[in-house]
Structure 1
Amino acid sequence: MAAIDCGTNSIRLLVADLPDPSAGPQAPLVDLARRMEIVRLGQGVDRTGRLAPEAIERTRVALAGYAAEIDELGVDRVRMCATSASRDASNAADFRAMVERTLGVAPEVVSGDEEARLSFTGAVRGLPADAEPPYLVVDIGGGSTEFVVGTRDGGVQAAISVDIGCVRMTERHLHGDPPTADEVAAAQADIAAAVDRALAAVPGREAATLVGLAGSVTTVVAIAQDLKEYDPERIHHARVPYERVAGVTADLLGRTAAQRLAIPVMHPGRADVIGAGALVLKVIMERAGMSSVVASEHDILDGIAWSQQPV
């Protein structure tokens, strides 16, 4: 089967075989391909309320490549979920028509609640034994961040999606290169207000373990580990203390985009928005009272894959 996650900043593909049901509830997916392209579909959506034609075209090019790989690997089932940017846009029908022409299936514009549940499912399978439940899973995207509280056995207890993400916060507040102290303060206040709303809706402060998902988190964790290249195996399930996250965040916000781009683990499409993404993670840790974060390379993409498992 194939899973495609089309977010505000990136579009990702997972082609995998589902494990045999007899292998048990913690048996992993058998990955055949994982791909990621930065297409910035949500470019300007916070300001204009529309998907930019050039952003739709960038997404089409990436999706055409994924469609070719799906055909080559002989996939039986495809599910594509589109998230924050395509929920917000007034011209979402143009995006939907492009996907159907290119991929042959319609995208599902999932609700924030469904997005949160898919992220939780993908993240909690295979968590190490020292990650104590209940979990607060946060998926920091380009346009929104999902907060989900639950356990592996009991599933999701509560979930909410709020409109803070690395692209949205950068476009709204962080205009300088590097951003000014006033810009950072304004972004931090905006993020803190949204995080407090989320934590009033879900009991995140009662969770024992914070699990962080998506590129902003994994990039911060890679920097915190002083990796010389992006290594998913070393990032997956790494635990980083708050003090290190705060230090990396301050460093990123103090650099120009060109200086961030020179960091060995930095994806070129993330350099201009990583400061805001790191700030979202730092504020979540502060407001939820979390002393550390466990990174997961498995997230909504894996959740989309698991959702295709026969009942």
Structure 2
Amino acid sequence: MTRVAAVDCGTNSIRLLVADVNPETGELVDLDRRMTIVRLGQGVDKTGRLAPEALERTFAACRDYAAIIKELGAERLRFVATSASRDASNRDDFVSGVLHILGVEPEVITGDEEAELSFTGATKELTGRDDLAKPYLVVDIGGGSTEFVVGDDAVRAARSVDIGCVRMTERHLVRDGKVTDPPTPDQITVMRADIEAALDLAEQTVPLREARTLVGLAGSVTTVSAIAQNLPEYDTEAIHHSRVSYDRVREITESLLRSTHAERAAIPSMHPGRVDVIGAGALVLLSIMDRVGASEVVVSEHDILDGIAFKAAEGVKGGK
């Protein structure tokens, strides 16, 4: 087993996993897994730049993570940055800040690389399950983008499109600098049309409708699962590999899009950083299920972060 640290810095959150990993057997034992909402992608869709306050929130989280990585004695560290930092004209400020704090440069990966890591993390432990038919369609609904990847034991096709929960919220649900509470029917209609256009784009590369099992990743999907189960608090064990029916996803999405900020914040399993963006994220999930005809989504807590850890253990890039 190799002790590794993996960091996934997305548009909405930055996450850390320190684990003992055997990439040959697919065994991964968590030592520390945590998430911080930093909203790195704040305003990027509009300005093309990372906001100074967003950078500082991210660097503060990196300093906390550096202490944990040192305490647990990780042998290798890999830091992957995704959608927001791909789009930003001042991403060099981000790269130099992370290098100073953690001692490694963040790998600003492509959408296709992001999709492959997500697929690895989500499906390694599904191998051999008779109740989940292949091929899998893994969808990772992030803050700035959603990754689609179809595969059996290996990736067959992948595509990233710009329909993350933060991007959709900022693009369609903000008026006069504030999130509409709740969104209007017209806003929802336009947002749904934008999502459908992105799905058309994804389907040019990825055979979405060939999938036999839909696997959903990241905070929008796991939060929908927590709501579906009426959990009194966010419970990773209860959420991991849970199954949520199409009808339940539709019911939850419609409820979220009708609700106010206060009503969403009162949901026991809701992370405070997701209150304003969960409606858009749930609508992305529902739209995907409509497109592929999925009767349910299998929810995974293991995603790109686990994929990064497996690759770090193999010595692929980013080690220190």
- Please confirm whether the aligned pair reaches a TM-score higher than 0.5, indicating the same fold: yes
Question: Would the aligned equivalents of 1:116 and 1:161 in 2 still touch at CA under 8 Å?
Answer: yes
1:148 aligns with 2:149: yes
- Residue number in structure 2 paired with 1:302: 306
> Which secondary structure does the structure 2 equivalent of 1:98 belong to?
helix
Candidates 170, 181, 186, aligned match of 2:185: 181
Q: Greater CA deviation, 107-116 or 301-310?
A: 301-310
Candidates 18, 21, 46, aligned match of 1:18: 21
> Which secondary structure does the structure 2 equivalent of 1:18 belong to?
strand
- Cα offsets for 1:274-299 (capped at 9, x unmatched): 00000000000001111110000000
- Residue number in structure 2 paired with 1:271: 275
Candidates 278, 282, 286, aligned match of 2:286: 282
Separation in structure 1 between the aligned mates of residue 203 and residue 166 of structure 2, nearest angstrom: 22
- Residue number in structure 2 paired with 1:29: 28
> Which secondary structure does the structure 1 equivalent of 2:313 belong to?
coil
Separation in structure 2 between the aligned mates of residue 310 and residue 284 of structure 1, nearest angstrom: 33
Separation in structure 1 between the aligned mates of residue 27 and residue 306 of structure 2, nearest angstrom: 10
Displacement, 1:210?
0.3
Question: Would the aligned equivalents of 1:199 and 1:288 in 2 still touch at CA under 8 Å?
Answer: no
AA matched with 2:311:
S
Question: Would the aligned equivalents of 1:140 and 1:214 in 2 still touch at CA under 8 Å?
Answer: yes
For normalisation by structure 2, the TM-score amounts to 0.94
Q: Report 1:117-156 matches (<5 A).
A: 117-127=116-126, 128-152=129-153, 155-156=154-155
Separation in structure 1 between the aligned mates of residue 111 and residue 206 of structure 2, nearest angstrom: 14
- Residue number in structure 1 paired with 2:256: 252
Displacement, 1:20?
7.5
Unaligned runs of 5+ in 2: 175-179, 316-320
- Residue number in structure 2 paired with 1:5: 8
Q: Report 1:71-220 matches (<5 A).
A: 71-127=70-126, 128-152=129-153, 155-175=154-174, 176-220=180-224
- Cα offsets for 1:202-234 (capped at 9, x unmatched): 111011000000000000011011111111111
Separation in structure 1 between the aligned mates of residue 42 and residue 192 of structure 2, nearest angstrom: 21
Displacement, 1:129?
3.3
- Judging changes above 3 Å, is the alpha-carbon distance between structure 1 residues 183 and 20 closer, same or farther for their aligned structure 2 residues? closer
> Which secondary structure does the structure 1 equivalent of 2:215 belong to?
strand
Unaligned runs of 5+ in 1: none
Question: Would the aligned equivalents of 2:22 and 2:313 in 1 still touch at CA under 8 Å?
Answer: no
- Cα offsets for 1:162-205 (capped at 9, x unmatched): 00100000000012111000001110000011012212311110
* Matched length: 305
Runs ≥4 in structure 1, deviation > 2 angstroms? none
- Judging changes above 3 Å, is the alpha-carbon distance between structure 1 residues 20 and 266 closer, same or farther for their aligned structure 2 residues? closer
Question: Would the aligned equivalents of 1:19 and 1:30 in 2 still touch at CA under 8 Å?
Answer: no
> Which secondary structure does the structure 1 equivalent of 2:33 belong to?
strand
Q: Report 1:231-250 matches (<5 A).
A: 231-250=235-254
AA matched with 1:204:
L
Separation in structure 2 between the aligned mates of residue 195 and residue 221 of structure 1, nearest angstrom: 22
AA matched with 1:2:
A
> Which secondary structure does the structure 2 equivalent of 1:81 belong to?
strand
Question: Would the aligned equivalents of 1:240 and 1:294 in 2 still touch at CA under 8 Å?
Answer: yes
Separation in structure 2 between the aligned mates of residue 292 and residue 98 of structure 1, nearest angstrom: 41
- Residue number in structure 2 paired with 1:41: 40
AA matched with 1:144:
S
> Which secondary structure does the structure 1 equivalent of 2:312 belong to?
coil
> Which secondary structure does the structure 2 equivalent of 1:276 belong to?
helix
AA matched with 2:151:
G
> Which secondary structure does the structure 1 equivalent of 2:167 belong to?
helix
For normalisation by structure 1, the TM-score amounts to 0.96
